Structure 1
Amino acid sequence: MSAETDYFSQFPDIAYEGENAGELSYRYYDKNRVVMGKTMEEHLRFSVCMWHTFCWPGSDVFGGGTFDRPWLSHDVGAEAAAMKRRTALEFVRKLDLPFYCFHDVDVMEPADNVADYRQRFATAVDHLEELQETTGRRLLWGTANLFSDPRYAAGAATSPDPEVYAWAALQVRSAMDATHRLGGSNYVLWGGREGYETLLNTDLGRELDNFGRFLSLVVEHKHKIGFEGAILIEPKPHEPTKHQYDFDTATVYGFLKRYGLENEVQVNIEANHATLSGHTFEHEIAMAGALGIFGSIDANRGDHQNGWDTDQFPNSVEEMTLAMIEIIRAGGFKTGGFNFDAKVRRQSVDAEDLLHGHIGGVDVLARALLNAERIIEDGRINEFRTSRYAGWHGELGRTIHESTTSLSDIADLAIDRDLRPRHRSGRQERLENLVNRHM
């Protein structure tokens, strides 16, 4: 690798140093430390994303890019794309994190026709396979960008134009095949524009059916090629469209049930999307766990004073601890992990800033895992929750759930027993205090 492309050569490899950790090292993330029967690396399964970290030039709706990255400064072409791929995988290796993620267009030069798309993406996949071998990094998940190109202004799977739908199918098949070849653990569908701006020009029923058909075809292709990873869909309420069909986890589950896909597709939950939908991050995780569709996480945060998807690195140990408890309750990651779908700020223009962003996010989540371990091992929160629902293990609770019990049967039980239920404290303040004692 030349000096030009070895963008991070001036920095040391990032390692765990504990209590005396410097700014370019991990204080809490010791990947080999065993926590509740698994190593931290196995629990957290960290991934670095290609798009925000290596593709975004630092632009916003009011201004152009602020980042002077060598692969962005070149004319967009094969050389710059290869440089970006090399730099990305080396960065993940330097952080000593196991995984990376990409959209198809993140890793290749632009293509505006089918032949160029297929050839250029194939070249990129060949190169990524080599880079995975030399750096020891793995693919957490792949996906296709079905939102940036102008052709997707009205959606991809929900586009009114079947030619756009077919182009989307080309990209998804290509990205799925690449993910399978590269040993990816999951494939993600992010419905960035699967929604509408106004009902005046929208056939809602047709768009939902087209979306359901597309997702069914994706699942069919997964089994056809023998891909054993999970298919994930990412809930998001709005932005860029006014209303998106994958609004939140519960909405996604209803959609999956309607099209018979609830046992085939899981969710990739993003913290910033959760808060934009009016929920907490931990609520979305708990809902996915309760519905049996918890898959993976995009780790970031929003700004409480901004209604936009700001994609900042997570920095609240308290918020991440509450989320970590729910991840553990949901059984933890199987094929998923924590992907840093986060970006440094437009004013953070140096290579070092990319390191600080990821190091901080890694340590926040590692500390949250340690906190969750202490809270769970303390046991008092789980004990209270169990006791609060103890009645459902008794005679009345079991009778209510017997298949032969009718609504009238339950009502008659209330009459016969002259039931006089009393309200009991939920002990919220006590439970919050117990959490805070372990922060």
Structure 2
Amino acid sequence: MAEYYVGNKEYFPGIGKIIYEGPKSDNPLAFKYYDAEKKVGKKKMKDHLRFAIAYWHSFCADGSDPFGAPTHPHPWIVDAKSPLEAAEHKLNAAFEFFTKLGAEFYCFHDRDLAPEGESPAESEKNLFALAAKAKKLQKATGIKLLWGTANLFSHPRFMNGAATNPEFSVVALAAAQVKAAIDVTIELGGQGYTFWGGREGYMSLLNTDLKKEKEHLAKFLGAARDYARKQGFKGVFYIEPKPMEPTKHQYDYDVETVAGFLRYYGLDKDFRLNIEANHAELAGHDFAHELETAAALGLFGSVDANRGEPRNGWDTDQFPTSYYETALAMYAILKVGGFTSGGLNFDAKIRRNSIDPADLFEAHIGGMDTFAVGLEIAQRIIDDGKLSAFVKKRYASFNSGDGAKFDKGELSFEDLAKLGSKYGKAGITSGKQERLENILNQYLLGL
């Protein structure tokens, strides 16, 4: 089992390489549907899905919540003599997990990887020290960095935001932190860099200059982009929409809001969206809606794969379990051509009372199986062509004649109104929603 872990200690003893055993297997530590090398369409499953592990939830979260103390006694911090040593042990544990699970990517915040120092300079020194170790592990294992990001929300100085903070000193400190995080992302070959505006919003309009804050956010993002490009970063910048929590109203509320912001400030050429299922739900949207909207606007990039609790209204970050949801998600993703630099990052955490080391594996196995099923269903929908044919037929009136002229922008409003006077009874055509839902259920059941 030594080839599946690094360093002098194994943090997940008794658990070997997770393999595909098929749907009839009763082994909880085996894939039932995710067969990495299986061809689906023109690509292997692993290349379609590009699974990544969220470093923060899997190796930093300790099971604590507002009502209780930690319940996850991480073995990688038990014997550590300093925060830096604990961070190194955690890194070794993470790469052991990535390798045993067979995930090819991971994602992290700067503060996940290395502890905060007494000054920005010390924090940066810590980050680069751990990044050097991560680079060696990446080379040894073949694991790659999907994207990096900076934690601009946990420290008390960010209680009023980072780029949108009313105090300039905090904006400057945020820039120093992002600069270091970008440098490390480049050093580790990260394929993207993500901005999640955890506190870029307001709690009360009574003390907020909303226009100024949004302008400052745009300036900050533009300057960060320019710096990264000067350093040779060729990857994609992502913004991750979320409507609220911890702020009352965040400036990156949902896909449409972010799209409008990017285009208004001229940032849409470099930025794409990292869409999270749970955040879509908090914004009052279906996951597939946010994916389809991003695709329609040419801004689809990457995905944080999780789910929420619809009766809760909180960001519960649970592992995905719904084939219906993942089928619609993968259908939207395949229609836009699939992932390029992005992937499926499991921004999900095991529950507070899931305290066995195997629970972390089983959670990811279930999520990977769920998306594998969704992928196969989505490919079946595309190959069969019934849904796309129906949609094409539904809009056929725009393919020729006056409809085609309107579609191409060749009719004035007067022309359009004049044509309307001759149509009389129109628009009384069934949308066949129930039939299409029944067909989708047939795909889900493999019939």
Give the letter for the 1:164 counterpart: V
1:390 aligns with 2:396: yes
In structure 2, C-alpha distance between the alignment counterparts of 1:362 and 1:130, rounded to whole Å: 27
Aligned pair in 2 of structure 1 residues 433, 75: CA closer, same or farther (>3 Å)?
farther
What is the identity, as a one-letter code, of the residue corresponding to 1:25? A
> What corresponds to 2:430 in structure 1?
425
**1:233 and 2:233 equivalent?**
no
The residue matched to 1:102 in structure 2 has which SS?
Answer: strand
* Residue in 2 that maps onto 1:96: 102
Q: Does the CA-based 8 Å contact 2:11-2:76 persist in structure 1?
A: no
Aligned partners of 1:116, 1:396: CA distance in 2, in Å? 67
- Aligned to 1:295, the other structure's residue is in SS state strand
* Partner Cα separation in structure 2 for residue 191 and residue 83 of structure 1: 29
* 1:274 to partner: Cα distance: 0.2
Closer/same/farther in 2, CA of residues 5 and 65 from structure 1, 3 Å limit: farther
Q: Does the 8 Å contact 1:76/1:110 carry over to 2?
A: no
What does residue 358 of structure 1 align with? Answer: 364
The SS at the match of 1:18 is: coil
- Find out whether 1:282 has 2:288 as its counterpart: yes
Question: Counterpart in 1 of 2:261?
Answer: 255
Paired residue for 2:22? 18
Partner SS state of residue 232, structure 1: strand
Post-superposition CA distance 1:182-208 (Å, at most 9, x none)? 111110001100001001111101100
**Conserved? CA contact 2:6–2:92, under 8 Å:** no
CA contact (8 A) 1:152 1:159 kept: yes
Q: Which amino acid aligns with 2:39?
A: V
Measured after TM superposition, the shift of residue 342 of structure 1 is: 0.3
Kept in 2, the 8 Å contact 1:59–1:66? The answer is: yes
Residue aligned with 2:443, SS? coil
- 8 Å Cα contact 1:212-1:259 kept in structure 2: yes
| Structure 1 residue 435 displacement after superposition | 0.5
> Residue 442 of structure 2 corresponds to which residue in structure 1?
437
Q: Which of 66, 91, 106 is 1:61 aligned to?
A: 66
Contact kept, 8 Å, 1:4 with 1:70, in 2: the verdict is no
Residues 304-361 of structure 1 deviation map (CA, whole Å, 9 limit, x = unaligned): 1111100000011111111111111122111000000000000001111001000000
Residues 26 and 363 in structure 1, CA contact (< 8 A), matched pair in contact too: yes
Shift of 1:4: 7.9
Decide which moves more: 296-305 or 19-28: 19-28
1:58 is paired with a residue of what secondary structure?
coil
The 5 A counterparts of 1:230-379 are 230-379=236-385
Distance (Å, rounded) in 1 between the aligned partners of 2:123 and 2:261: 31
Instruction: Supply the distance in 1 between the matched residues of 2:415 and 2:377 (Cα, whole angstroms).
Output: 46
**Secondary structure at 1:296's aligned position in 2?**
strand
Shift of 1:8: 1.1
Question: 1:68-83 to 2 correspondence within 5 Å?
Answer: 68-73=73-78, 74=80, 77-83=83-89
Please list the CA deviations of residues 2-43 of structure 1 after superposition, one character each: whole Å capped at 9, or x if unmatched.
898421131111011223432111111111111110110110
Farther off after superposition, 1-10 or 103-112: 1-10
Q: How many residues align?
A: 438
| 1:76–1:109 contact (8 Å) kept in structure 2 | no
**Residues 4 and 134 from structure 1, CA distance in 2 versus in 1: closer, same or farther, beyond 3 angstroms?**
closer
Distance change in 2, residues 1:326/1:437 (3 Å): same
Q: Classify the secondary structure of the residue corresponding to 2:364.
A: helix
Change in 2 beyond 3 A, CA 1:75/1:309: farther
State yes or no: 1:160 paired with 2:162.
Answer: no
* 1:380 counterpart = 2:386: yes
1:114 equivalenced with 2:120 (yes/no): yes
- Change in Cα spacing, 1:206 to 1:5, as seen in structure 2 (3 Å) is farther
How high is the TM-score relative to the length of structure 1? Answer: 0.97
Gap regions ≥5 residues in structure 2: none
Query: Would the aligned equivalents of 1:77 and 1:110 in 2 still touch at CA under 8 Å?
Result: no
The residue type paired with residue 400 of structure 2 is: G
Deviation at 1:418, TM superposition (A): 4.5
Of all paired residues, the percent bearing the same amino acid is: 48
1:45 is displaced (CA, Å) by 0.1
1:170-190 C-alpha deviation (Å, 9 max, x unpaired): 111111111111111110001
Per the TM alignment, residue 405 of structure 1 is displaced from its structure 2 partner at its CA by 2.4
| 1:63-212 correspondence to structure 2 within 5 Å | 63-73=68-78, 74=80, 77-212=83-218
Distance 2:378 2:87 in 1: 41
Distance 2:89 2:21 in 1: 31
CA apart distance, 1:414: 2.3
Moved over 6 A (4+): 1-4
* More displaced 10-residue stretch of structure 1: 112-121 or 265-274: 112-121
Change (3 A) 1:2 1:179: closer
- In 2, are the aligned partners of 1:57 and 1:72 still within 8 Å (CA)? no
203-212 vs 404-413, greater mean Cα deviation: 404-413
Is residue 19–residue 27 contact of structure 1 (8 Å, CA) maintained in 2? yes
Q: CA deviation at 1:221?
A: 1.7
- Which deviations, in whole Å up to 9, do the C-alpha atoms of 1:147-185 show, x marking residues without a partner? 011110000011011111111111111111111111111
> 8 Å contact 2:149–2:181 — kept in the other structure?
yes
- RMSD of equivalent CA atoms: 1.4
Q: 1:229: how far off?
A: 1.0
Give the secondary structure class of the aligned counterpart of 1:297: strand
Residue identity matched to 1:363 = D
For residues 187 and 134 of structure 1, do their structure 2 counterparts lie closer, same or farther at Cα, with a shift above 3 Å needed?
same
The one-letter amino acid paired with 1:45 is R
Q: Check if 1:30 corresponds to 2:46.
A: no
Distance 1:150 1:408, change over 3 A: same
SS, match of residue 89 in structure 1: helix
3-state SS of 2:380 partner: helix
Q: 1:369 & 1:76 partners in 2: Cα distance?
A: 44
Q: Is the 8 A contact 1:58 1:346 kept in 2?
A: yes
